[in-house]
């Protein structure tokens, strides 16, 4: 029987060095795209896939992420008193069902695999999604929901994948591709950040995964891989042959908001379609590109 997917882990312990000084005193996951923090995009996408329980893997100095998901009692009371209904409504998605949200600390930055291992008590024996909040995916159907659909069909690990230019393979986990029906790709192997000349393909993993708990026993060995970090990619690779493993060419556009250019592009993509901002944004673009 395929276990229903109800849990998500969101690794948010990173230092955000690429956005200094903005991230000196605030987590990069709190940076807004238009008016919503990156972390909220990830939570919204997970909820749209039926996920109900969340675990943030945080680090020192990132407690405002936990406060963000708490009740802002004074603020809410003031808004109510002043009849600011739309502002109150904007707060709603940042509230959490009591007991549905936990945070664990990754005390040392030992890699993505190590971050996921820190969530082992939360995961237990259940399947879980991972969302890296640096990536936001704009799509009709939530990207995680697309992965869950594939998971329900295959019963195994599914990662969201997209083609990248060959010279960029050293930035991502890369698939060794088996049978490929154009959408779902059988995964024969996985390599973390290979040099372009060593990459088995140019199909890269984006920050969205649905995994069964099998990966945890490999993570618990805490073996170091690329960059001397505990790599999730290496632990996932060890499940191939034991658990069905597929890449899904998801429908949608990924914005790499861990990168300045990607972050700025996301601002445009998400604001230009807003009824309250779209016309102004189009005017700005004309003005600055003329």
Site for ligand G1P in 175-234 (CB under 6 A): 192, 204-207, 232-233
Cβ neighbours around 262 below 10 Å, total? 15
Applying the rule CB under 6 A, the residues between 111 and 140 that interact with ligand G1P are: 112, 132, 135
Selection from 249, 250, 251, 255 nearest residue 272 by Cα: 255
Q: Which residue has the tokens 């996951």?
A: 29
Q: What is the spatial distance between Cα 146 and Cα 158, in angstroms, rounded to a whole number?
A: 10
The distance of closest approach from Cβ of residue 130 to ligand G1P in the complex, given in angstroms and rounded to an integer, is 9
Say how many residues touch ligand G1P, by CB under 6 A. 12
- As measured in angstroms, the least distance from the Cβ of 151 to ligand G1P is 19
Judged by CB, which is closer to ligand G1P: 154, or 204? Answer: 204
Which residue, among 157, 135, 131, has the nearest Cα to 144 in the 3D structure? 131
Assigned token pair, 213 = 């708990």
Question: Is 112 or 118 the residue whose CB approaches ligand G1P more closely?
Answer: 112
Distant-in-sequence, close-in-space partners of 74: CB < 8 Å, separation ≥ 6 = none
Is residue 173 a contact residue for ligand G1P (CB under 6 A)?
yes
As a whole number of angstroms, the distance between CA 83 and CA 85 comes to 6
- Binding flags for ligand G1P, 15-54, as an x/- string (CB under 6 A): ----------------------------------------
Alpha helix stretches (DSSP H) within 141-275: 143-154, 214-219, 232-237, 260-271
Does 240 bind ligand G1P (CB under 6 A)? Our answer is no
Per CB under 6 A, residues contacting ligand G1P are 112, 132, 135, 172-173, 192, 204-207, 232-233
């Amino acid at each position: 029987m395929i276990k229903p997917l109800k849990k998500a882990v969101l690794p948010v312990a990173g230092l955000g060095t690429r956005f200094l000084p903005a991230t000196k005193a605030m987590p990069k996951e709190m940076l807004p795209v238009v008016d919503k923090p990156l972390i909220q995009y990830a939570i919204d996408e997970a909820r749209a896939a039926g996920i109900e329980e969340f675990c943030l893997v945080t680090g020192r100095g990132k407690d405002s992420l936990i406060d963000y998901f708490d009740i802002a009692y004074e603020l809410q009371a003031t808004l109510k008193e002043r009849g600011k209904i739309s502002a109150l409504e904007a707060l709603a998605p940042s509230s959490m069902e009591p007991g549905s949200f936990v945070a664990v600390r990754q005390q040392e930055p030992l890699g993505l695999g190590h971050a996921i291992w820190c969530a082992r008590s939360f995961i237990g024996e259940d399947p879980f999604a991972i969302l890296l909040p640096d990536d936001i995916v704009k799509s009709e159907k939530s990207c995680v929901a697309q992965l869950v659909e594939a998971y329900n069909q295959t019963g195994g690990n599914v990662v969201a994948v997209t083609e990248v230019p060959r010279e960029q393979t050293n930035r991502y986990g890369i698939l060794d591709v088996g049978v490929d029906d154009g959408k779902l790709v059988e995964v024969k192997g996985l390599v973390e950040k290979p040099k372009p000349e060593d990459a088995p393909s140019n199909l890269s993993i984006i920050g969205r995964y649905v995994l069964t708990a099998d990966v945890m026993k490999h993570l618990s060995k805490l073996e170091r891989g690329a960059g001397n970090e505990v790599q999730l990619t290496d632990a996932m690779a060890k499940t191939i042959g034991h658990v069905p493993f597929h890449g899904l060419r998801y429908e949608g556009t990924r914005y790499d908001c861990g990168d300045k250019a990607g972050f700025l592009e996301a601002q445009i993509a998400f604001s230009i379609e807003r009824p309250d901002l779209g016309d102004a944004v189009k005017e700005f673009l004309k003005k600055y590109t003329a």
